[in-house]
Amino acid sequence: MMPSVESSQWRSSLNKSALEAAGQPGTWEPCHKHMVGNGIVGIENLGGDLEKVVGKCFKFMAFPIRWYMGDGSMVRAVAEIDEDQLNNVADRVYPYGDH
């Protein structure tokens, strides 16, 4: 069972981020630091044609930008799936173009 967020014991058990190791202020989100410190990668705020792969088996890849001493970044998220396995939904239309 995970201790409450208020627990100083839990907070002190978190691994230092690269920023903290360099003498900079720590991370703004303790749960992110705890997950990454335990080898758990978090992917959040995905957008795009997600409806096309919902409920399907596919290979997911995330290619982060290079960020020196960073502990998170934007990624180019890619789903690899056979075209005939995609859900039959309309393409997403972006009001600002396709780039």
Q: Give 34's contacts (C-beta < 8 A, 6+ positions apart).
A: 14
* CB-neighbour burial class of residue 17 (10 A; exposed 0-12, middle 13-18, buried 19+): buried
Question: Each residue's pLDDT tens digit in the chain (99 positions)?
Answer: 444 444 444 444 455 656 666 666 665 677 777 887 888 888 888 888 899 999 999 999 999 888 887 767 889 999 999 999 999 999 888 787 665
Residue ranges per structural domain of the chain:
1-42, 44-99
62 φ/ψ angles, rounded to the nearest 5 degrees: -130, 125
* Amino acid letter, residue 6: E
The C-alpha atoms of residue 75 and residue 66 are separated, in whole angstroms, by 10
Whether the model pTM is above 0.85: no
